[in-house]
Amino acid sequence: MSYDQAVEKVIKLKENNTSVVIKQTIDTSSGRGVQVFFDENRNIISYDQAVEKVIKLKENNTSVVIKQTIDTSSGRGVQVLNLNKNSKDLLDELNLVFKKMGRNFVVQERIHPHEHFKKLYPEAINTLRVVSYMLKDDIKTAPISMRIGRGGALVDNAHAGGVFIGVRDDGKLLDTAYTEYQDRYYEHPDTHVVFKNYQLPMIDKVRQAAIELHKNLPNMTFISWDFTIDENNNIVLIERNLHSQTVWFPQMAHGKSFFGKDTEEVLKSIKYL
């Protein structure tokens, strides 16, 4: 895959997204929300069609991810549903899960991470946090950090017990990973993979993907992107964060100012927002 093809792959994520069912509650003037199901192309579908689409995934998937889409963060509300069941048991469980997940949620195919990500910790997809920011007429990126799950967790967020570590420009990990409580690890506590100089693939392409995506949102000054690389070397955008963003864990991971030499200019720009 060429550099341009990798970027184009990310830009066209809407055409190749992993979502299969979206449930959204739309507020009305009466104050009663109208609950609507959508497919991956935002076509309205019925409840039965939504359930059928998930059951059909059994043909090529062993599990799916179901997560809330509103008022959640740090890996909370993420559930993995095992599809290896007979149709009746799966139908019963889907009905229970759909009811439990409430007003707004999404069902997605499970991502299978790149072997270099999986080797670090196989239970989570282990994401790259890339923060892009607009300064004058230029879009730049802050130092990239990686979040890695541990202890059997399916998510990698620091608040969920994961560790985080800085990624150098050449794609190699720094020496030390941290928890939110500043515990330090020089190797992964479960897999015992040594962090120092561990090579990650396609970091330049991930960085450029964040920049290209930011160009589609020119009214946003700061955006925090979460990416991973899948088993087929595709860049996968997990989510973008437009509010409640943070600099504490990337700054801790790298041990230096988040915006580096741009700090003064960034502070000036914030002053006038």
115-271 — its CATH code? 3.30.470.20
Lowest mean pLDDT among 87-101, 160-174, 213-227: 87-101
Q: State the pLDDT at residue 249.
A: 92
pLDDT mean over 63-84? 74
Per-residue pLDDT tens digits for 89-124? 888 888 888 887 777 888 888 889 999 999 999 999
Domain ranges of the chain: 17-109, 115-271
Residues 6+ apart with CB under 8 A from 177: 148, 163, 164, 165, 184, 185, 186, 188, 195, 253
Indicate the pTM of the whole model: 0.81
| Alpha carbons 93 and 28: distance in angstroms, whole number | 30
Short-list 237, 235, 240, 212, CA closest to 224: 240
Per-residue pLDDT tens digits for 69-79? 766 666 666 77
